[in-house]
Amino acid sequence: MLQSMTSEPEQQFGVGAPDAFQRLWTPHRMAYIQGENKPTGPGAADGCPFCSIPAKSDEDGLIVARGELVYAVLNLYPYNGGHLMVVPFRHVADYTELDEAETAELAAFTKRAMRALRTASGAHGFNIGMNQGSTAGAGIAAHLHQHLVPRWGGDTNFMPVVGHTKVLPQLLADTRKMLADVWPTV
Ligand SMILES: [Zn+2]
């Protein structure tokens, strides 16, 4: 699917090295919209991906960083390159259910994720937030997750080193490593 994006008209971008990710790219979200990887019920035992991801290796789970109470993971269905989520390990749906320590570490990880994305990709801005409840657009409403979507002026560029022709799994693997390598320790 992404192969077709390499025909992006490059002449419309006046500066820098054009690459395949010079616009928001979302066709792969169709798999998500169609229900792939969605839990089958509200509980952690009902196939909740946010509960099962931490059991995987960082590479397999696309985990960028692990804290004591929360972790940062790449979104498999990104709205933009580098779309991260900060997720509590504990299976809770509502922000008010987080205890103080979880709330603090979720906030700290949000800051670190911003720093890492700026370092790795030169992000100009961010959309940050939580969709609370499926009515509000949460795809996996049973396990809260804070989205960080990096933005660039005109969303014109993202990590040019990843190149034009890699398929999404390789792109995500490279992105994960780049962010993990620059993840701040504080
Ligand atoms: Zn869960």
Report how far ligand 1's centroid is from the alpha carbon of 164 (Å): 34
- For residue 147, give the DSSP letter: E
Q: Which tops the pLDDT comparison, 44 or 70?
A: 70
Q: Regarding the domain delimited by 25-185, which CATH topology (the fold level of the hierarchy) does it fall under?
A: HIT family, subunit A (3.30.428)
pLDDT level of residue 139 (50, 70, 90 thresholds): confident
Give the angle subtended at the CA of 9 by the CAs of 6 and 14, to the nearest 5°.
Answer: 120
What rounded mean pLDDT belongs to the chain?
77
Residue 32 token pair: 């998500």
23 φ, ψ to 5°? -160, 165
DSSP code per residue over 96-139: GGS-HHHHHHHHHHHHHHHHHHHHHH---EEEEE---SGGGT-S
Q: If you average pLDDT over residues 15-35, what whole number do you get?
A: 42
Residue 117 token pair: 């994305």
Q: If you average pLDDT over residues 162-166, what whole number do you get?
A: 46
Report how far ligand 1's centroid is from the alpha carbon of 70 (Å): 12
- What are the tens digits of pLDDT across the range 89-135? 999 999 999 999 999 999 999 999 999 999 998 888 999 999 998 88
Q: What is the pLDDT of residue 167?
A: 59
Residue 53 makes CB contacts below 8 A (sequence gap 6+) with 61, 62, 63, 71, 73, 87
- Report whether pLDDT(11) > 70: no
Cβ atoms of residues 85 and 72 within 8 Å: yes
Residue 61 token pair: 């789970």
Task: Name the residues annotated as catalytic.
Answer: 145
Q: If you average pLDDT over residues 146-155, what whole number do you get?
A: 84
Report how far ligand 1's centroid is from the alpha carbon of 123 (Å): 29
Give the angle subtended at the CA of 169 by the CAs of 12 and 70, to the nearest 5°.
Answer: 105
